[in-house]
A and B are shown apart, each in its own frame.
Chain A
Amino acid sequence: MTDTRNTTDAKRDARKTNASKTNARSPDARSEPATRRGIHARLADLPPLAEQPPDSGFESTRTMPLRVEFVRQFKRRRTRLTMLFMAILPILIASAFDIGGSGSGSGSGGVALVDLATSGAGNFALFTEFASVGFLLVVIVAMFCGDTVASEASWSSLRYLLAAPIPRARLLRQKLAVALGFSFGVNLLLPAWAYLVGGVFFGWAPAKSPLGATFSYAETWERMAIVGGYACGQAVVVAALAFFLGVLTDAPLAAVGGATFVVVVSNILDSITALDPYRVVLPTHFQYSWLDALSRQISWDDMIRGTSLAVIYSALLFTAAWIRFARKDITS
């Protein structure tokens, strides 16, 4: 402050003296590094501003191309760490099985999947999916979708994007598309990668169902596609929740943590069987219904219910996010 004041004093003096032509110092001469000459020349060379088209060649439908948003997000360290972790995870699990041998247990589908995990690529991929879908993938999806708007707010870059101007609805759409793309990518690449890792570690035998059926290769891939597709559908609920929270708040952590928190609470409530007729409306109730695709004959009932529930929740949450964001005062 003192510096500034001194400078301004000096300036005023300079101007006064300029007027009396006793001092030739000009601000330009005093403070300009040599390289800066160019900028003044450039500005001076600009033709006088002609009457421009009203929107200066701007088209809102071209704003925020997916490619641009993809690069913006992909270059983040968290994206790359996530990818790296996802690449390591199946190898880690496979090594654990290799060292410790297959577990043993009896009972529901999940435990049986553990027993079969080392029987081949297909079962290893299914087990990896089973082990990660409950929490790990939830956190990752919440991170991709919750953080996408909230982090722009926390970097203050959101206001510049909106003033670019990117229409608000379009900004949400493009950001959601990229975030969902990352989420689905992880959801689908994880089992695919686990399949390859499992194949290297435990051979390429086709998948066996915990119910005793053995699938052909074609069936294995078909079932895995169903599992992956259904898991993606369920991930949309988490995505919608995180995205909605991300639109509400400027703190990325609040959005990601909030969505994860809701999922955890829902899981806890879902484990209370006494709530029974009402448990079906919990967003995570049908989280593992893809296990139904592992029986000899696919039972679609719970997967239909689960997908419908996901559609309901995500439609409500996305609508709320769009309506909220369309009129929100951006103050961050």
Chain B
Amino acid sequence: MRARRSERSDAGRRDIARTALLGRLAGLLPTNRALRASLAGVLVLVLIGLVLAIVLQPAAIKVSSQFLAGTPEPDGKPVALDTSLYLPATTPAPAVLLAHGLGGTKAGLDAQARDLARHGYLVLTYTARGFGSSGGLIHLDSVNYEVKDASRLLDFLQNRSDVLHRDGKPVLGVAGSSYGGALALMLGATDHRVEAVAADITWNNLTNAVFPNNVAAGASAGTGGVFKKLWVGYLFSISMRPGATGTPAPTASGTDAAGCGRFAPDICAFYQRTGSSPNGVGPSSQASQSSALLSLSSPSTVLSGIKAPVLLTQGEQDSLFPLSEADANARQIVAAGAPLQMRWRSGGHDAGNADDNVSGWQRQFFDQRLRGMAANSDGNFFLAQRDAGISATNGRRVNTTLRANDGYPGAGHPAPVRGLPLTGVAQTISAPPGGSPAAVTSLPALSGVLNAAAGAGISTSALSALPGQVASFRTAPLTAPVLVTGSSTVELSVTSPDAKEATLFVSLHDVAADGTDTLPANLVAPVQITLAGGRQNVTLRLPWIVSQIPAGHRLSVQVSTTDFGYAMPGDPRSYRVSLDAANSVLTVPSLATTTIRTGTVLWWPVLAGIVLLLCAALLAWRLRSMRRSTRDAGLAGVPIAVTDLVKEYADSYRAVDGVSFRVERGQVLGLLGPNGAGKTTVLRVLMGLIMPTSGTVRVFGVEVTPGAPVLSRLGAFVEGPGLLPHLTGSENLRLYWAATGRPTEQAHLDTVLEIAGLGSSIDRRVKTYSHGMQQRLAIAQAMLGLPEVLVLDEPTNGLDPPQIAEMRVVLRRYAETGRTVIVSSHLLAEVEQTCSHVVVMHRGRVVAAGSVTEVAGVGAVQLAVDDPVAAANVLAEAGISAREVPARRALEDVFLDLTSEST
């Protein structure tokens, strides 16, 4: 018997579990139209996107290589230039000539050329003479050779029919970086077919770039400069790499023997002079010769003739061609009347892998100048504010772009300046013999090493300031942040007991309150001062930087005697440096700027806002459209009325199929049926846990929906206890009642605790309870507040016989108070003994309903006799018919009849 029952109930549980699982799986799928519609919408959008992506994908770019004739060498040797032509999908198109940097070839321009071609430009890239597969010698962007080469390439472009012509003139632009940038500027200045010039990190005057001297005013201004030996040596060496110059021609000429590689003899001779000059400082006797040579390679010589619009981009981390070179170019361009756009970008020759979008900016510039598209940002001067942060997502430094409110400062409107008083006593500093040890501020092509050191928290000031070699003068702590934009100036006095001229390196440091010293962009400005006897007052230009100095920090001007990157005098010297007492002010340029948020950043919060609004609207709409409960006034006095209830699960299994019954006040109703009859499903609908497929359950006339307030008049215990195992019994009851939000005095906690009958165990944690104890506590929880309707599902499971008996009495007494009790059970005796009324369910239908006596039927009186046979005889004789009936004719038999009939 025991075994049979457990089999049955196991099967039932499996059934329920399966149903529940299927229901849940089905629940994962979108079940309502709105969700389906939005999914479909997303799908359609994705498809449209794919189609558009395929349709709009640019047609393949055609690339062809050919050799074109360049300017012959002085000895008449022809020069062939290695070129590549990138044809866009549609022609005629505006043409752009791209020039590469020193030591590179046309291969390095491939990515930019393809990008431009994809955006509808015809692009010609070429390898400059002296490099790669092109012939000829390197003349360092000479107006007579490289610039003329480029003009010949323009000749080639202008006659092509696939190059766009406007008013009979070809639409041509030129762009390049560094070596290519200078070429672009010089070509634009000398060949007026060029309609747009984009030059990146390039020089203005090569003499000034190689022999810089940052004396702005003073008796010694213009006496040559300090040789930038490390950079120049590095550039010459990379230009002689076989990879850069192609296989060296097997000519046994003198230049090869001199180690000049493919440099033209005059350039090579200049290089060798710099190395052989006595102390390396400045071109002394041959200065004019060198500067005449270098002027042929300097945009400064030709820029007065420029008419085409120019985009200048210059790096803020550039000790080779600092921002001052771009400034000089800009002044000449503005003076010549050509439109100028200037951008100080975060990278430069010192930055290993700056993520500046140079080719993007150049493309936008060409869009604007060659195709007449509208500029996508106003203003002609943008600055990158470096060190704004380190990007956590890619580890790179994050830069902020600033727009100068008043455009690029020029002769007409100089940059606004701030004067900050400096303090500091006169200091004596010494230059070591041979310039060693020397301070290290930047290393050509190895600046990544210094950046990494800074990134690891190693103070680079230890390298850049050597003891005894540095004099420093400080401002007071700043009361407000200052944005330094450009070159500050300072007036100093320099004397020396033993030298006729001074080679010094000045720099502007940011000193934090705790003394942490930062050298912005690791830049120093070399100065060469002639000490014409005694004290020399000079105004010095400090390095060009863009740096935000926070409030509380000081600015410090440091004067050092050495720098590893420059040629220094070989003899030991000492200098005495002091502030010019009359004018000890640091003059700091500080432009008014506006921070530019890139469009992509703004786009994010906007999208987030839209999504948020849509979600809120969808949620509001969905929750509002939930069915409200309806009220049937006629049933207000009826505790429970179930009408035509159908519940079909997602797998179309009908757990309940058209159930109707009523429960009146004071009844103890038994809901009877085998496992799987649908009793629990009815109770779940009654509790608002599941939605009926059709039909209604009304409690006191109010339709039950999830969370309907009328459910507060109902207490339930369905399908086992639901207690928090980590809380004690009494905490469970108290917190459950508190969760209903009703006043504590309505809980009737004492009565309920007595019903639970757990004694002192009530203060133990529920996880230590036996099954029966949990059961009693859960029933007690259902009775909290003594609800008008009490629903108990298999309440006697796990109780021992005395407790079962006790429970029956409690339920009957409970009903006698005018409240209503529903007990579901698959145990017939249970229902028979506890309930006044019964509803028998089988396979989701009601098969019988009424009072227990009605259903059990019959109302026939039973008479027990000692001897049935004899009694039957007696009765027969007396004329009373008698038949034998089983002794236990009761609800059980009715139930078995009913359920077997419908099977």
Question: Is B739 part of the binding interface, using a Cβ–Cβ cutoff of 8 Å?
Answer: yes
B553 to chain A, nearest CB (A): 9
B6 to chain A, nearest CB (A): 9
A155-B725, A295-B388, A330-B689 are contacts. A40–B809 as well, Cβ < 8 Å?
yes
Chain A, residues 90-124, CB within 8 Å of chain B (1/0): the string is 00000000000000011111011001100000000
Question: Is A200 part of the binding interface, using a Cβ–Cβ cutoff of 8 Å?
Answer: no
A-chain residues with CB within 8 Å of residue B719 when the two chains form the complex: 156, 159
A302 touches B707 (CB 8 A): no
B-chain residues with CB within 8 Å of residue A275 when the two chains form the complex: none
A5-B829, A302-B392 are contacts. A27–B626 as well, Cβ < 8 Å?
no
Interface residue ranges of B587-625 to A (CB < 8 Å): 597-598, 600-601, 604-605, 607-609, 611-612, 615-616, 618-619, 622-623
A304 touches B601 (CB 8 A): yes
Chain B, residues 783-811, CB within 8 Å of chain A (1/0): the string is 00110100000000000011111101110
A38-B754, A212-B518, A330-B689 are contacts. A31–B393 as well, Cβ < 8 Å?
no
Question: Is B398 part of the binding interface, using a Cβ–Cβ cutoff of 8 Å?
Answer: yes
Question: Is A272 part of the binding interface, using a Cβ–Cβ cutoff of 8 Å?
Answer: no
A209 to chain B, nearest CB (A): 9
Question: Is B166 part of the binding interface, using a Cβ–Cβ cutoff of 8 Å?
Answer: no
A162-B687, A208-B457 are contacts. A292–B516 as well, Cβ < 8 Å?
no
B-chain residues with CB within 8 Å of residue A52 when the two chains form the complex: 713, 788
Chain A, residues 1-12, CB within 8 Å of chain B (1/0): the string is 111110110011
Question: Is A89 part of the binding interface, using a Cβ–Cβ cutoff of 8 Å?
Answer: no
**Complex Cα gap A109–B731 (Å):** 49
Chain B residue with Cβ nearest A62? B741
B738 to chain A, nearest CB (A): 4
Question: Is B545 part of the binding interface, using a Cβ–Cβ cutoff of 8 Å?
Answer: no
**Complex Cα gap A112–B453 (Å):** 10
A54 touches B700 (CB 8 A): yes
Chain A residue with Cβ nearest B714? A163
Question: Is B896 part of the binding interface, using a Cβ–Cβ cutoff of 8 Å?
Answer: no
Most-contacted residue by chain B among A7, A61, A115, A212 (CB, 10 A):
A212
A301 touches B727 (CB 8 A): no
B496 to chain A, nearest CB (A): 34
B722 touches A49 (CB 8 A): no
A305-B601, A329-B23 are contacts. A165–B516 as well, Cβ < 8 Å?
no
A300 to chain B, nearest CB (A): 8
B-chain residues with CB within 8 Å of residue A54 when the two chains form the complex: 700, 702, 709-710, 713
B548 touches A323 (CB 8 A): no
Residue from B400, B727, B736, B801 in contact with A31 in the complex, judged by beta carbons closer than 8 Å: B801
Residue from A105, A298, A326 in contact with B623 in the complex, judged by beta carbons closer than 8 Å: A326
Chain B residue with Cβ nearest A3? B801
Question: Is A182 part of the binding interface, using a Cβ–Cβ cutoff of 8 Å?
Answer: no
A-chain residues with CB within 8 Å of residue B712 when the two chains form the complex: 55-56, 58, 164-165
Chain B residue with Cβ nearest A108? B395
Question: Is A253 part of the binding interface, using a Cβ–Cβ cutoff of 8 Å?
Answer: no
B23 touches A331 (CB 8 A): yes
Chain A residue with Cβ nearest B612? A315
B389 touches A7 (CB 8 A): no
Question: Is B274 part of the binding interface, using a Cβ–Cβ cutoff of 8 Å?
Answer: no
Residue from B398, B665, B736 in contact with A299 in the complex, judged by beta carbons closer than 8 Å: B398
Question: Is B716 part of the binding interface, using a Cβ–Cβ cutoff of 8 Å?
Answer: yes
Question: Is A199 part of the binding interface, using a Cβ–Cβ cutoff of 8 Å?
Answer: no
**Complex Cα gap A232–B429 (Å):** 53
Q: Which of A135-143, A184-192, A258-266, A281-289 contacts B (4 or more CB under 8 A)?
A: A281-289
Question: Is B60 part of the binding interface, using a Cβ–Cβ cutoff of 8 Å?
Answer: no
**Complex Cα gap A11–B802 (Å):** 12
Question: Is B706 part of the binding interface, using a Cβ–Cβ cutoff of 8 Å?
Answer: yes
A288 touches B739 (CB 8 A): no
B778 to chain A, nearest CB (A): 8
Question: Is A82 part of the binding interface, using a Cβ–Cβ cutoff of 8 Å?
Answer: no
**Complex Cα gap A157–B5 (Å):** 28
**Complex Cα gap A133–B722 (Å):** 35
Residue from A4, A55, A302, A323 in contact with B713 in the complex, judged by beta carbons closer than 8 Å: A55
A156 touches B721 (CB 8 A): yes
Residue from A7, A35, A169 in contact with B804 in the complex, judged by beta carbons closer than 8 Å: A7
A108-B395, A210-B455, A291-B392 are contacts. A72–B724 as well, Cβ < 8 Å?
yes
A48 touches B818 (CB 8 A): yes
A-chain residues with CB within 8 Å of residue B741 when the two chains form the complex: 58-65
A49-B788, A288-B393, A309-B604 are contacts. A76–B735 as well, Cβ < 8 Å?
no
Chain A residue with Cβ nearest B740? A164
A141 to chain B, nearest CB (A): 19
- Give the interface SS of chain A, mostly helix, strand, loop or mixed: helix
A329 touches B711 (CB 8 A): no
B-chain residues with CB within 8 Å of residue A160 when the two chains form the complex: 716, 722, 736, 781
**Range, interface on chain B:** 35 or more
Residue from A61, A115, A280 in contact with B457 in the complex, judged by beta carbons closer than 8 Å: A115
B817 touches A155 (CB 8 A): no
Interface residue ranges of A269-323 to B (CB < 8 Å): 280, 285-299, 301-302, 304-305, 307-309, 311-312, 315-316, 318-319, 322-323
Residue from A39, A42, A308 in contact with B604 in the complex, judged by beta carbons closer than 8 Å: A308
Question: Is B64 part of the binding interface, using a Cβ–Cβ cutoff of 8 Å?
Answer: no
Question: Is A24 part of the binding interface, using a Cβ–Cβ cutoff of 8 Å?
Answer: no
A160-B781, A165-B688 are contacts. A65–B516 as well, Cβ < 8 Å?
no
A56 touches B742 (CB 8 A): yes
Interface residue ranges of A1-32 to B (CB < 8 Å): 1-5, 7-8, 11-12, 16, 27-28, 30-32
A8 touches B833 (CB 8 A): yes
Residue from B716, B805, B810 in contact with A39 in the complex, judged by beta carbons closer than 8 Å: B810
B454 touches A312 (CB 8 A): no
A297 touches B389 (CB 8 A): yes
A-chain residues with CB within 8 Å of residue B724 when the two chains form the complex: 72, 155, 157
Residue from B459, B516, B611, B718 in contact with A315 in the complex, judged by beta carbons closer than 8 Å: B611
Residue from A49, A69, A109, A308 in contact with B819 in the complex, judged by beta carbons closer than 8 Å: A49
Question: Is A211 part of the binding interface, using a Cβ–Cβ cutoff of 8 Å?
Answer: yes
A107-B455, A297-B387 are contacts. A309–B623 as well, Cβ < 8 Å?
no
A32-B806, A72-B735, A248-B28 are contacts. A296–B801 as well, Cβ < 8 Å?
no
A159 touches B689 (CB 8 A): yes
A292 touches B726 (CB 8 A): no
A311 touches B608 (CB 8 A): yes
B454 touches A212 (CB 8 A): yes
Question: Is A44 part of the binding interface, using a Cβ–Cβ cutoff of 8 Å?
Answer: yes
A-chain residues with CB within 8 Å of residue B829 when the two chains form the complex: 4-5, 8, 11-12
Chain B residue with Cβ nearest A47? B817
A63-B739, A296-B550 are contacts. A323–B392 as well, Cβ < 8 Å?
no
**Complex Cα gap A115–B712 (Å):** 61
A96 to chain B, nearest CB (A): 20
Residue from B616, B738, B809 in contact with A68 in the complex, judged by beta carbons closer than 8 Å: B738
A1-B2, A32-B806, A311-B612 are contacts. A302–B459 as well, Cβ < 8 Å?
no
A297 touches B810 (CB 8 A): no
A305 touches B604 (CB 8 A): yes
B739 touches A319 (CB 8 A): no
B-chain residues with CB within 8 Å of residue A31 when the two chains form the complex: 801-803, 805-806
Please name 18 further chain A to chain B contacts, defined as beta carbons within 8 Å, in addition to the given A42-B751, A108-B390, A322-B619, sorted by A numbering.
Answer: A39-B751, A42-B754, A52-B788, A63-B741, A65-B738, A76-B726, A106-B452, A115-B457, A159-B719, A162-B687, A162-B706, A214-B513, A299-B389, A302-B391, A323-B622, A326-B706, A331-B24, A331-B689
- 19 examples of A-B residue contacts, CB within 8 angstroms: A31-B803, A40-B809, A44-B813, A55-B713, A63-B741, A71-B735, A107-B395, A109-B392, A156-B719, A159-B718, A160-B722, A162-B706, A163-B711, A210-B390, A250-B24, A291-B389, A295-B398, A301-B601, A312-B611
Binding site for B on A (CB under 8 A): 1-5, 7-8, 11-12, 16, 27-28, 30-33, 35-36, 38-40, 42-44, 46, 48-49, 52, 54-65, 68-69, 71-72, 75-77, 105-109, 111-112, 115-116, 155-170, 206, 208, 210-214, 216, 248, 250, 280, 285-299, 301-302, 304-305, 307-309, 311-312, 315-316, 318-319, 322-324, 326-332
